[in-house]
C-alpha cells in the first residue's frame, strides 16, 4: 500500500532543502477507499495513513473529497444527525493528527448552508477551510441538491511556499478557481472523488497536465478509490510539474499512499503576505524527514481491457462486502455473459465464495451444461444443478385452463427465466449469498431479458458492458491460459427459452447493434443522426423504440458497475411514461 514513483525516488537522492533557493515539500497523497456513512472506519483510515505519513516525514497529507462521509453520500446529507456525525468525526481526526499538516474532505454546515469542503488541519488544529466552488449537477452528480457554491478559493503558505486548495470539479474548468489562484501560488492542490468510466483516467490526466502547463503551476491531485453502488473510483492520483511532467502517479483501483518530494521555486512577487494564512510546519516533521528512505514503486499503465476488468472486480467486491455479504450465487447458462460474470466474481471474492447454478430445461443444449461445468472447473467454483422441468410442468398445470387455445410464447418463455430466478433467490435466502445477475448492456438496452427472471438479483456485474466488449474482455482474460471455455466464445448467443432460439432471431448482430446503442444511449443521438453500415433506418428506428419501451424494466433492475460515459441508472434519467416511444 505504500508506494512512490521511480522518478520521485531519484529526486530523493539530491534532496532540496528550504535553505537552497527553492523549497522542497514532501507530499503524501492518500489514495484510499472510504465508506459512505462509515465515519468510524473513515476516521480510522485517516489516522492509520497519518501514522505512516508521519514516519515518512510528509509535509502535507492529502485525502480525497468528502473523505469523512464517503462519496457520494446522497440524501444522507439531508439528515441533521449525519452532518453532526461528520462534524464530530472531523474533530476526532484533527486531534489525532498532531505533528502533521493534512487536507481532508468533509461536509461543512454553516447556518442553513451546506458546503462540500476541504479542511486544512495543522498540528491537530482545523485552521482553514476551502469550499468547492464549482458543483457538478449533471451525469451521476447531484451536488446542487445539497451544497452551496463556495465564493472564494483558499490559499495558505507552508514552509515559505504559497499553496492553493481546490476540490474536484474546481479544476475541470480551465477558467475556474485554479486560474485565479495560480497567479499567486507555487503549488495547486486538488482533492477529488472522481468516478471511473472507460477512458476517464487518460482524459483526466490530460486535463491535469494541461492545467499545470496553462496555470504554470505544479498540481498535486488525489482521487478516491473503491466502489459505491453504481460507481467505482479509480484512484490514478497524480503529481504534475508546472511543465506538465508527471512526477508521481497512483495505480488504478488500488489503495496506496503516493509520496513525492516536489521542488518549488517561489516566483518573484509571490512572497508571503500578511493577509495569507501561514501554516507552521509541525516541529515533528523535521525530526523525521532526513532519515526516511521513500519506498519505490513504478506506476503501471494497464491495457484498456484490464482497466475495465479491474473496475468490474473492485466495483463488485466493494458492493458485496460493503453491504455485509461475502458470498455470491449466480446462474450459469454456458453463455458468455454468465461466464464473464463468474470470472469477475471469482477475482473479486475468491473461488470459495462463488457458487454457480445450472438450471437446464428441455430447450437447453448439451453445450450449455458442458460449457458451464468446464467454466466452473477453470474457475474452481462449486456448482449446483437443478433441472427446472418439474416447475415448468407445475405452472403449466396451474394455468392450463386459462391458457388453453393460446399459442406458447412470451408467457411460457418468461416463466422459465422466472423459475430460474426463484431458485437462485431461494438459495440466497437459505444460505445467504447475494445473487449476481448476468445481463450485458446490449440486452438490457433492448429489454432482451426477463424481469424477475434473469434480472433477479442484487448486483448486475456487467450491466454497463456492451456485448462486443464482453467478448473482448473474455478474450483478454484468456490471454495466458483458457479461463472462459473456447466453445463459449465461439457459439452463437442464445437465451435457450424455446427450441433452436438464437439472439439474432430478435436482435441485429451485436457488432451492428452496439454502435447504434452507443450513439442512442450514450450520446443521445436521434434516429436520423445515426448511421451504421448494414442497418436500415427502419432497423435503427426499431432499436431506438425498444430502448425507450424498456425503460420500465431497467428501472427495476439491480445496480451494476458504471464503466461507460453514460450508464443506465442515475446517469441517464429518462421518464418511463413518454410518448416519444
Residues designated as active site: 65, 132, 168
Q: Which of 277, 399, 489, 546 binds a second copy (CB under 8 A)?
A: 399
Backbone φ and ψ of 122, nearest 5° = -125, 120
How far apart CA 127 and CA 121 sit, in angstroms, is: 6
Can residue 325 be called a binding residue for a second copy (CB under 8 A)? no
Which range of residues in 170-178, 193-201, 289-297, 409-417 is near a second copy by CB under 8 A?
409-417
Can residue 358 be called a binding residue for a second copy (CB under 8 A)? no
* Angle (CA) 8 9 11, round 5°: 65
Can residue 502 be called a binding residue for a second copy (CB under 8 A)? no
Can residue 288 be called a binding residue for a second copy (CB under 8 A)? no
State how far Cα 474 lies from the chain centre.
Answer: 20
Question: Taking CB under 8 A as the rule, which mask of x and - marks residues 362-381 in contact with a second copy?
Answer: --------------------
Nearer to a second copy, 44 or 306 (CB): 44
Q: What is the DSSP string of 4-68?
A: --HHHHHHHHS---TTSSSEEEEEEEEE----TT-HHHHHHHHHHHHHHHHHTT-SEEE--TTTT
**Nearest to residue 242, comparing CAs of 267, 268, 219?**
219
**Nearest to residue 198, comparing CAs of 309, 302, 308?**
308
Can residue 76 be called a binding residue for a second copy (CB under 8 A)? yes
Computed on alpha carbons and rounded to an integer, the radius of gyration of the chain in Å comes to 27
Q: Rounded to the nearest whole angstrom, what is the least distance from the CB of residue 506 to a second copy in the complex? A: 15
**Nearest to residue 254, comparing CAs of 240, 238, 236, 239?**
236
Nearer to a second copy, 394 or 482 (CB): 394
Q: Rounded to the nearest whole angstrom, what is the least distance from the CB of residue 387 to a second copy in the complex? A: 7
Which range of residues in 14-22, 90-98, 214-222, 421-429 is near a second copy by CB under 8 A?
421-429
Can residue 233 be called a binding residue for a second copy (CB under 8 A)? no
Q: Which of 21, 366, 404, 430 binds a second copy (CB under 8 A)?
A: 430
Q: Rounded to the nearest whole angstrom, what is the least distance from the CB of residue 258 to a second copy in the complex? A: 26
Find the length of the chain. Answer: 581
Q: Rounded to the nearest whole angstrom, what is the least distance from the CB of residue 444 to a second copy in the complex? A: 14
Window 39-68: residues binding a second copy (CB under 8 A)? 39-41
Q: How many chain residues bind a second copy (CB under 8 A)?
A: 87
Q: Which residue has the cell 481532508?
A: 104
What's 252's DSSP letter? B
Q: Rounded to the nearest whole angstrom, what is the least distance from the CB of residue 501 to a second copy in the complex? A: 16
Can residue 74 be called a binding residue for a second copy (CB under 8 A)? yes
Please give the span between the terminal C-alpha atoms of the chain, in angstroms, as a whole number. Answer: 51
Q: Which residue has the cell 446503442?
A: 517
Can residue 446 be called a binding residue for a second copy (CB under 8 A)? no
**Nearest to residue 79, comparing CAs of 29, 32, 36?**
36
List beta partners, residue 383: 356
Can residue 574 be called a binding residue for a second copy (CB under 8 A)? yes
Can residue 261 be called a binding residue for a second copy (CB under 8 A)? no
Nearer to a second copy, 147 or 221 (CB): 147
Q: Rounded to the nearest whole angstrom, what is the least distance from the CB of residue 372 to a second copy in the complex? A: 17
Which range of residues in 335-343, 386-394, 465-473, 480-488 is near a second copy by CB under 8 A?
386-394
Residues 6+ apart with CB under 8 A from 462: 312, 337, 340, 341, 344, 438, 439, 440, 441, 470, 560, 561
**Nearest to residue 48, comparing CAs of 257, 216, 209?**
257
3-class secondary structure, 339: helix
Can residue 123 be called a binding residue for a second copy (CB under 8 A)? no
Can residue 479 be called a binding residue for a second copy (CB under 8 A)? no
Can residue 403 be called a binding residue for a second copy (CB under 8 A)? yes
Nearer to a second copy, 288 or 395 (CB): 395
How far apart CA 350 and CA 326 sit, in angstroms, is: 10
Q: Rounded to the nearest whole angstrom, what is the least distance from the CB of residue 531 to a second copy in the complex? A: 15
Q: Which of 397, 405, 490, 536 binds a second copy (CB under 8 A)?
A: 397
Which range of residues in 1-9, 90-98, 281-289, 573-581 is near a second copy by CB under 8 A?
573-581
Nearer to a second copy, 394 or 502 (CB): 394
Can residue 497 be called a binding residue for a second copy (CB under 8 A)? no
> Is residue 207 within 8 Å of residue 167, measured between CB atoms?
no
Can residue 96 be called a binding residue for a second copy (CB under 8 A)? no
At 410, list the grid cell. Answer: 412470451
Window 537-556: residues binding a second copy (CB under 8 A)? 552, 555-556
> Is residue 494 within 8 Å of residue 501, measured between CB atoms?
yes
Q: Which of 352, 406, 504, 506 binds a second copy (CB under 8 A)?
A: 406
Q: Which of 144, 183, 280, 486 binds a second copy (CB under 8 A)?
A: 144
Q: Which of 35, 96, 127, 369 binds a second copy (CB under 8 A)?
A: 35
Nearer to a second copy, 282 or 458 (CB): 458
How far apart CA 400 and CA 190 sit, in angstroms, is: 66
Can residue 225 be called a binding residue for a second copy (CB under 8 A)? no
Backbone φ and ψ of 23, nearest 5° = -120, 135
Q: Rounded to the nearest whole angstrom, what is the least distance from the CB of residue 80 to a second copy in the complex? A: 7
**Nearest to residue 455, comparing CAs of 422, 427, 498, 501?**
422
Which range of residues in 52-60, 123-131, 221-229, 465-473 is near a second copy by CB under 8 A?
221-229
Nearer to a second copy, 90 or 468 (CB): 90
> Is residue 35 within 8 Å of residue 70, measured between CB atoms?
yes
Nearer to a second copy, 290 or 579 (CB): 579
Can residue 291 be called a binding residue for a second copy (CB under 8 A)? no
Q: Rounded to the nearest whole angstrom, what is the least distance from the CB of residue 52 to a second copy in the complex? A: 23
Please write down the long-range contacts of 506-512, taking CB distance under 8 Å and 24 or more positions apart. 506/446, 506/448, 507/442, 507/443, 507/446, 507/448, 508/535, 508/539, 508/543, 510/442, 510/466, 510/467, 510/468, 511/468
Amino acid at each position: 500500500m505504500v508506494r512512490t514513483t521511480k522518478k520521485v525516488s531519484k529526486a530523493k537522492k539530491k534532496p532540496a532543502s528550504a535553505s537552497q533557493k527553492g523549497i522542497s515539500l514532501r507530499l503524501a497523497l492518500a489514495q484510499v477507499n472510504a465508506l459512505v456513512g462509515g465515519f468510524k472506519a473513515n476516521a480510522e483510515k485517516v489516522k492509520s495513513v497519518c501514522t505512516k505519513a508521519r514516519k515518512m516525514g510528509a509535509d502535507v497529507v492529502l485525502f480525497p473529497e468528502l473523505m469523512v462521509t464517503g462519496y457520494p453520500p446522497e440524501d444522507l446529507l439531508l439528515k441533521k444527525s449525519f452532518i453532526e456525525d461528520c462534524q464530530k468525526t472531523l474533530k476526532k481526526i484533527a486531534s489525532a493528527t498532531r505533528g502533521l499538516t493534512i487536507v481532508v474532505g468533509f461536509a461543512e454546515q454553516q447556518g442553513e448552508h451546506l458546503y462540500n469542503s476541504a479542511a486544512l488541519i495543522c498540528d491537530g488544529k482545523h485552521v482553514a477551510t476551502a469550499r468547492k466552488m464549482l458543483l457538478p449537477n449533471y451525469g451521476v452528480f447531484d451536488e446542487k441538491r445539497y451544497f452551496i457554491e463556495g465564493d472564494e478559493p483558499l490559499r495558505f503558505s507552508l514552509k515559505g511556499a504559497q499553496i492553493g486548495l481546490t476540490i474536484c470539479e474546481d479544476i475541470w474548468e480551465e477558467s475556474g478557481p485554479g486560474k485565479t489562484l495560480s497567479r499567486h501560488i507555487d503549488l495547486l492542490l486538488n482533492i477529488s472523488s472522481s468516478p471511473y468510466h472507460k477512458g476517464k483516467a487518460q482524459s483526466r490526466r490530460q486535463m491535469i497536465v494541461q492545467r499545470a502547463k496553462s496555470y504554470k503551476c505544479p498540481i498535486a491531485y488525489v482521487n478516491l478509490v473503491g466502489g459505491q453502488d453504481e460507481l467505482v473510483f479509480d484512484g490514478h492520483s497524480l503529481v504534475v510539474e508546472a511543465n506538465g511532467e508527471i512526477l508521481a502517479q497512483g495505480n488504478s483501483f488500488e489503495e496506496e499512499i503516493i509520496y513525492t518530494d516536489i521542488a518549488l521555486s517561489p516566483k518573484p512577487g509571490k512572497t508571503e503576505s500578511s493577509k495569507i494564512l501561514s501554516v507552521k510546519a509541525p516541529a515533528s516533521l523535521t525530526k523525521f524527514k532526513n532519515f526516511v528512505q521513500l519506498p519505490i514503486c513504478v506506476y503501471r499503465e494497464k491495457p484498456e481491457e484490464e482497466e475495465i476488468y479491474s473496475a468490474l472486480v473492485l466495483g463488485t467486491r466493494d458492493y458485496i462486502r460493503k453491504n455485509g455479504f461475502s458470498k455470491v450465487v449466480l446462474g450459469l447458462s454456458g453463455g458468455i455473459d454468465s461466464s464473464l460474470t463468474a470470472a469477475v466474481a471469482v477475482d473479486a471474492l475468491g473461488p470459495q465464495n462463488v457458487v454457480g447454478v445450472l438450471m437446464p430445461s428441455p430447450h437447453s443444449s448439451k453445450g450449455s451444461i458442458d460449457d458451464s461445468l468446464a467454466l466452473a472447473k477453470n474457475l474452481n467454483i462449486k456448482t449446483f444443478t437443478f433441472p427446472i422441468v418439474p416447475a415448468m410442468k407445475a405452472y403449466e398445470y396451474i394455468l392450463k385452463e386459462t391458457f388453453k387455445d393460446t399459442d406458447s410464447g412470451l408467457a411460457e418463455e418468461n416463466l422459465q427465466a422466472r423459475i430460474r430466478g426463484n431458485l437462485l433467490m431461494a438459495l440466497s435466502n437459505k444460505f445467504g449469498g447475494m445473487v449476481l445477475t448476468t445481463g450485458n448492456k446490449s440486452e438490457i438496452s433492448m429489454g432482451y431479458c426477463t424481469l424477475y427472471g434473469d434480472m433477479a438479483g442484487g448486483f448486475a456485474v456487467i450491466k454497463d458492458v456492451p456485448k462486443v466488449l464482453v467478448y473482448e474482455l473474455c478474450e483478454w482474460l484468456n490471454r495466458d491460459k483458457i479461463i472462459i471455455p473456447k466453445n463459449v466464445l465461439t457459439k452463437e448467443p442464445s437465451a435457450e427459452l424455446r427450441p433452436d432460439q438464437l439472439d439474432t432471431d430478435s436482435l441485429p448482430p451485436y457488432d451492428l447493434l452496439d454502435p447504434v446503442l452507443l450513439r442512442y444511449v450514450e450520446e443521445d443521438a436521434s434516429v436520423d443522426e445515426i448511421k451504421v453500415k448494414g442497418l436500415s433506418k427502419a432497423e435503427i428506428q426499431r432499436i431506438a423504440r425498444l430502448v425507450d419501451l424498456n425503460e420500465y424494466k431497467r428501472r427495476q433492475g439491480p445496480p451494476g458497475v458504471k464503466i461507460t460515459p453514460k450508464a443506465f441508472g442515475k446517469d441517464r434519467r429518462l421518464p418511463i411514461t413518454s410518448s416519444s416511444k
